[in-house]
Amino acid sequence: MNGTTPAEALRRWFRQHGRRLPWRDDPAPYRVLVSEFMLQQTTVAAVIPHFHRWMENFPDTASLAAAPEAAVLKQWEGLGYYSRARNLHRAAIAIEKRHSGKIPRTLPELRALPGIGPYTASAIAAFAFDQTVPVLDANIIRVTARLFDFRENISTSSARAFLEGAAASLLPEKNGMRHTSALMDVGATICKAGEPDCPRCPLRHFCRAKNPATIPFKPAKKALVHLTDWRAICIQKNHIHLIQSNGPQWKGLWLLPPAEPVAKPLGTLKYAITRHRVTLHTVSAHPPKNATPFPLDRLPAMPTPHRKALAAALK
Ligand code: SF4
């Protein structure tokens, strides 16, 4: 057996197989905070280059809090779901004002910061402050549900309470960071969605799952919605004319103005956002009155599909 308890088995496995990640190699609280905001809805591989660039531009809460929102959004470009950037910015301002620039350690204080829900608060407590608290991300939910052969719908509040209790029962007395990292890594690399690789799993001797590929159970997803969006490429004297979004989608970002459909678009690209599948067509047009010109070599923060549509039109 790999250890006398799941925590012990995870500890041994992690020493050899744990992933090296920039926010683990140096888990300063601000680095953990930034990584947790970026990792909401974005994969580890996609986050890493953005994380390094962010740290060069905003190395601490003071520099982030002092930055104008336009610069923060520009720096977030490519990660999507810009409300995270806005919340991270607001959290940095709150940390500067309320906590003299020090990221708080307790769950209630963390929860009181903008953009920090129960998951992010417990992840920061575990990764930045080494606390032994249950952290339920998608990987840990999957591993825990399988370990306990939990076959109910995981999206209910009673399921959540069960999984939190189950995850808490696995915790060691100390070293919350290592334990949580190990559990996450087992989920990301071995106990994956679909068929897990049980023979390689350090927890196999503790696992009760009889048919792990069917766990966790989630209700069927809502149907996809297909949309078509027409946008104008308005270029005059090396300036592109853009309009600022008032939200809710892409609030504060600069968009290509809406356009009337034409028989032959200038360009077409497709992108997905939540359950929407969007076909974006561009047309060449005169700028609308409410548009603002920007030099083509100094673009403001734009959502990725609009930036790509502009780049394709400029080719
Ligand atoms: S034994 Fe298999 S199902 Fe159980 S936790 Fe490990 S990988 Fe997942």
Query: CA–CA separation, 167 vs 178, rounded Å?
Result: 14
pTM for the whole structure: 0.84
Average pLDDT of the residues in 135-143 = 96
What separation in Å is there between the alpha carbon of 4 and the centre of ligand 1? 17
Out of 8, 36, 56, 69, pick the active-site residue: 36
pLDDT tens, residue by residue, 179-216: 999 999 999 999 999 999 999 999 999 999 999 999 99
In this model, does residue 255 exceed pLDDT 90?
yes
- Position 3 confidence tier, pLDDT thresholds 50, 70, 90: low
The CATH superfamily assigned to 6-214 is: Hypothetical protein; domain 2 (1.10.340.30)
What pLDDT was estimated at residue 248? 84
Kindly state the average pLDDT of the residues 155-178. Answer: 96
Is 109 known to be catalytic?
no
Report in angstroms the alpha-carbon separations of 189 from 91, 139, 198: 32, 9, 11
Q: Quick one: pLDDT at residue 249? A: 87
* Alpha carbons within 13 A on the beta-carbon side of 86: 12
Mean pLDDT across the chain: 95
State the average pLDDT over residues 148-163.
Answer: 95
Which CATH number does the domain 225-314 belong to among 3.40.50.2300, 1.10.3720.10, 3.90.79.10, 3.40.50.11930?
3.90.79.10
- The Cα–Cα gap between 82 and 50 comes to 14
The predicted model gives 282-297 an average pLDDT of 95
Structure token digits, residue 96: 């500067």
Q: For residue 274, what pLDDT is reported?
A: 85
Residue 285 has pLDDT above 60, yes or no: yes
Which residue's CA is minimally distant from atom 1 of ligand 1?
A: 204
Nearest CA to ligand 1 atom 8: 191
Q: In this predicted structure, what is the pLDDT of residue 247?
A: 80
129 pLDDT above the threshold of 70: yes
Best substitution site from 10, 143, 189, 210 to test ligand 1's pocket, by max atoms within 8 Å of Cβ?
143
- For residue 33, report the distance from its CA to the centre of ligand 1, in Å: 29
Identify the band that residue 218 occupies on the pLDDT scale cut at 50, 70 and 90: confident
Say how many Å lie between the CA of residue 132 and the centre of ligand 1: 22
Please write the tens of the pLDDT for every residue from 41-53.
899 999 999 999 9
pLDDT tens for 30-75 read 999 999 999 998 999 999 999 999 999 999 999 999 999 999 999 9
Going by pLDDT thresholds of 50, 70 and 90, the confidence category of residue 237 is very high
Residue whose structure tokens are 């990301």? 188
Per the CB < 8 A criterion, the answer to whether 271 and 280 are in contact is yes
Q: Give the distance (Å) from ligand 1 centre to CA of residue 110.
A: 32
* pLDDT bracket for residue 20 (50, 70, 90): very high
Ligand 1, pocket residues at CB < 6 Å: 143, 146-147, 190-191, 196, 198, 201, 203-204, 207, 209, 212
The whole-number pLDDT of residue 102 equals 97
Average pLDDT of the segment spanning 128-138: 97
The rounded percent of the chain whose pLDDT value lies above 70 is: 99
Sheet holding 276-284, edge to edge: 225-233, 276-284, 267-273
pLDDT at 1 over 60: no
The domain spans of the chain are 6-214, 225-314
Atom of ligand 1 nearest to the CA of 204: 1
Give the 3-state secondary structure of the chain.
CCCCCHHHHHHHHHHHHCCCCHHHHCCCHHHHHHHHHHHCCCCHHHHHHHHHHHHHHCCCHHHHHHCCHHHHHHHHCCCCCCHHHHHHHHHHHHHHHHHCCCCCCCHHHHHCCCCCCHHHHHHHHHHHHCCCCCCCCHHHHHHHHHHCCCCCECCCHHHHHHHHHHHHHHCCCCCHHHHHHHHHHHHHHCCCCCCCCHHHCCCHHHCCCCCHHHCCECCCCCCCEEEEEEEEECEECCEEEEEECCCCCCCCCEECCECCCCCCCCEEEEEEECCEEEEEEEEECCCCCCCEEEECCCCCCCCHHHHHHHHHHHC
Atom of ligand 1 nearest to the CA of 203: 6
For residue 212, the ligand 1 atom closest to its alpha carbon is 3
186 C-alpha to ligand 1 centroid (Å): 9
